[in-house]
Amino acid sequence: MPSTILVAEDQADIRDLLVMNLCNAGYEVTAVADGVAALASQNEVASDLLILDLMMPGMDGLEVCKALRARGRSSPILMLTAKSTELDRVLGLELGADDYLTKPFSLAELLARVKALLRRADLLRVAQSQAQQQPVLLRNGDLEIQPGKRSVRYRGELIDFTALEFDLLLHFAQSPGRPVPGARGGHVRRHT
């Protein structure tokens, strides 16, 4: 089943170009012209990925992003913007956007970013599914790992990890002394 993508862009020529190229790449695409329609479209079924224009009438892309994250929606969001200031990008990322693309942009780059965001979302879903099958808490001395919440505490202090770091730590905690599958050049062994 193809991934579903919502495109919210008020400029018809850009919106049509995006829809055509995304459909040609095999995605199922819904297109709207403003933020209010984008938010309404996500009420029933969440798209696998959203492409939001930053500057739209009525409700801009940042407001849509913030509202979706407040509802607990975790679909990846790619923000399109004519603004290229660092402050705009930082604000968008802090409100929950996953990536930014500044206009004018290359369609090849857009498609590559879409593919990467969808791949990352799939990996996260698999990890969350596996985490639900794992124990609620792993403990080793002062180290506590909660696989379902993807959180780690050491001596009671919460430690931030990237997704890869967390996955590696969890693997090591669950499989002491066993090799890491798929490591380049053979296997990596954990030394304690």
The domain in which residue 162 lies consists of 134-192
Question: Pick from 79, 107, 129: which residue ends a domain?
Answer: 129
C-beta separation of 76 from 68 below 8 A: no
C-beta separation of 58 from 34 below 8 A: yes
Domain count along the chain: 2
Task: State whether 16 and 88 are in the same domain.
Answer: yes
Task: State whether 46 and 139 are in the same domain.
Answer: no
Residue 191: which CATH number?
Answer: 1.10.10.10
Task: State whether 31 and 84 are in the same domain.
Answer: yes
- Residues 41-95 pLDDT 10s: 998 789 999 999 998 988 999 999 999 988 888 899 999 988 766 776 777 777 7
Helical (H) or strand (E) element with 12: helix 12-24
Task: State whether 191 and 160 are in the same domain.
Answer: yes
Is pLDDT above 80 for 132?
no
Task: State whether 67 and 28 are in the same domain.
Answer: yes
DSSP secondary structure letter of residue 160: -
Give residues with Cβ within 8 angstroms of 84, minimum separation 6. Answer: 102
Residue 48: which CATH number?
Answer: 3.40.50.2300
Is pLDDT above 50 for 184?
no
Residue 163 corresponds to which amino acid? A
